[in-house]
Amino acid sequence: MEKWNAARKSIIYKGVIQFADGSSYEGQWENHKMQGKGTFTDTEKVVWDGIFIDNTFETKNQKQLQFEIATKEKLERISQSALKFFDDFLETCANNSDKKGQGEKLHKFFAINENIAEFVDDPYVNINIKPIEKWNEAMGLLKNSTNKKVNVLMTASSSKNIDGRRIKATQFVETGGQVVEVDFERQNNEKINLSLCQTKDGRWVLIYYDDNIPDLNPPKAPNKK
């Protein structure tokens, strides 16, 4: 399975190679070098299992390297789990053509005291601040954006969208209470900022939302004279 490394602009893949001297390597590769998790067996049949950096196995740094790799993998798992929120939201909209049906089905994507209060204190974003079609547009914009930023909280105090004191659950966990922030910005400083929280049953719900994009907001009613 190949994976794009955006930071290094390269592809990470897994493979096996048998060298001419009889040694071998099985594991991750990047830019044609042993990079990441792998197992090298030398000509004396000594096995070197762990993290490789630029074709090198650094014995002294293995614990730190393995910790860093594990942290990155955990961040990726949590991030991908949270981003599925947008797929599920849009699929629910697509499967319910009438607005009333959409509204009833979409309530499950918004936090309420019954499923989030033990993790994050209210207030939570309310579905009624936007028409359903505008929620659909906003979630579609976030899903399809290639420049959105995902912030998996490692501590409550690292939250940018809400007061960290409202977050009661331990962060950087793969269980209920994890908070993930998604930010999107485009030209003219138009942006969307939202926060998701994972429920006990593994679902993600919206706890915070803010945007300043005119197209995503209903027109204001004219002032009465």
Whether the per-residue pLDDT at 77 is higher than 80: the answer is yes
Give the residue extent of every domain in the chain.
Answer: 3-57, 80-216
Global pTM value: 0.77
Tokens linked to 125: 């974003």
**By CB neighbour count within 10 A (0-12 exposed, 13-18 middle, 19+ buried), where does 93 fall?**
buried
CA distance 150 to 9: 19
Q: What is the pLDDT of residues 149-175, one digit of tens each?
A: 999 999 999 999 999 999 999 999 998
pLDDT digits (tens, 9 = 90+) for 46-58: 899 999 999 999 8
What is the tens place of the pLDDT at every residue in 22-33?
Answer: 999 999 999 889
- Closest by CA position to 88, among listed 146, 140, 149, 125: 140
